[in-house]
Structure 1
Amino acid sequence: MSLLKLSHVSAFYGPSQALFDVHLTLEEGQVLALMGRNGMGKTTTVKVICRMLRNRGGKVLFDGQDLANVPAYRAARKGLGLVPEGRRCFPNLSVYENLIAAARPGPWDFQAVTGLFPRLAERRDQMANSLSGGEQQMLAIGRALMTNPRLLILDEATEGLAPVIRQEIWASIRRLKQETGMAILVIDKSLRELRAIADNAVILDKGRSVWSGAIPDLSPQVTDRYLGV
């Protein structure tokens, strides 16, 4: 059974339709890249998965359960861990307070998170709004891990960061894949990095799934058509 499966998903913002026919499947332990140009429905798909936006058509199944009537907080408790676009740390809480705010029992605790991101241990008592952008991103990932999710969703986790910090974030994602077997859904614009880490990919275009498959099968013709500028 797939851990996450979307079939024929449609979604709206008020009267405006944003998703028309989205399909994706993610197995336990896999990394799936959700790709597409800006405005094609990637973040909207994440909102639907995490139940921040209801789908009007199709099905969203997590571990075989239909999430149609599941509120966002219960979806999170079922094992959906989101690192949202723009980080969104609690600015007036310390690093430690941010991490324990949503912590749930499991292997990912403060020690494990700071083992992945040692810089967070150094900044333990600093307010989140005093951190650099890269440190805030590490904090956002660490906060999601502290919920001990079955599926980690990373929405543009390296956007706007300095190259050296981007590489540090990608290295942490590779460690998560290699050492934990955690299922990961990752949205990013860096095709080179995604090719190195993802097992499969789904491309969205104008709210529709237009390509899916193993990432080594992603051809230059497909990337030029759906991902090129």
Structure 2
Amino acid sequence: MSLLTLQDVTAFYGPTQALFGVSLSVAEGEVLALMGRNGMGKSTTVKTICRMLPTRAGRLDFDGHDMTRLPSYRAARLGIGLVPEGRRVFPNLTVEENLIAAARPGHWNMPRVTALFPRLAERRRQGAATLSGGEQQMLAIGRALMTNPRLLILDEATEGLAPIVRQEIWSAIATLKRETGLAILLVDKSIAELAQVADRAVILQRGETVWTGGFDALTEDITTRYIGV
């Protein structure tokens, strides 16, 4: 059963059309990779799902609710947690305060988040602005988990990080899939890592869905045509 469904969604930035008919679905407990070259509509699709960008046409459903006209705060309350591109932690708050600020009742609490990312426990009283980029990314993921979402969206969660930190993030995503059954939408460029955790992939080109399928069907021809530089 689909938890999230987008059907022929279009969206604009002012007079400029950015999405021309995006369709995708994420089932309960599924990890879906959203792929494509830079500027093809991946982050714009994330913004429409989180209702930070209005849709001009098409339909968005989440757990049977029509989200097409919902404001962003109501989409979040339905159970959508976002780890935005660029992290965007609250720089003037401590690690603990960042996590508490997003907390909602449920499975995810401070002990569980710090068990997933032990470095956050070590930096608990430290200001978020003083953390390394990798630690800020862990904090951004932990903050999203503290909302106790049913769908976790990670927009370029490993971009610009050192290889060892990237590996920690991918390991945490694999743990979330294995142990929680959380539905996850992943935007990332690393096909090798995505193939280890994602069940399916959707590829966008120029704001349209051009391919959907399992990673076993993702041929070199498809990756060269739609993903390669």
Deviation string 1:77-107 (CA, Å, 9 cap, x unpaired) is 1100000000000000000000010100001
Deviation at 1:217, TM superposition (A): 1.0
**2:76 corresponds to which letter in structure 1?**
A
Look up the match of 1:153: 153
Identity of aligned residues (%): 69
- SS in structure 2 opposite 1:101? helix
Look up the match of 1:170: 170
- SS in structure 2 opposite 1:192? helix
Look up the match of 1:110: 110
Look up the match of 2:214: 214
- Tell me the number of residue pairs that the alignment of Structure 1 and Structure 2 aligns: 229
- SS in structure 2 opposite 1:221? helix
Look up the match of 2:64: 64
Deviation at 1:154, TM superposition (A): 0.2
Look up the match of 1:52: 52
How far apart, CA to CA, are the structure 1 residues paired with 2:216 and 2:50?
Answer: 28
Deviation at 1:65, TM superposition (A): 1.1
Residue correspondence of structure 1 range 64-213 to structure 2 within 5 A: 64-213=64-213
How far apart, CA to CA, are the structure 1 residues paired with 2:195 and 2:135?
Answer: 25
Look up the match of 1:12: 12
- Structure 1 gaps of 5+ residues are none
Deviation string 1:165-212 (CA, Å, 9 cap, x unpaired) is 000000000000000000000000000000111001000000000000
TM-score relative to the length of structure 1: 0.99
Deviation at 1:70, TM superposition (A): 1.0
Deviation string 1:94-139 (CA, Å, 9 cap, x unpaired) is 0000001010000100000000000000000000000000000000
**2:99 corresponds to which letter in structure 1?**
L
How far apart, CA to CA, are the structure 2 residues paired with 1:152 and 1:62?
Answer: 13
- SS in structure 1 opposite 2:52? coil
- SS in structure 1 opposite 2:223? helix
**1:29 corresponds to which letter in structure 2?**
G
TM-score relative to the length of structure 2: 0.99
Moved more, 60-69 or 203-212: 60-69
Q: Which aligned runs of 4 or more in structure 1 are off by greater than 2 angstroms?
A: none
- SS in structure 1 opposite 2:8? strand
Superposed CA RMSD: 0.5
- SS in structure 2 opposite 1:3? strand
Deviation at 1:42, TM superposition (A): 0.2
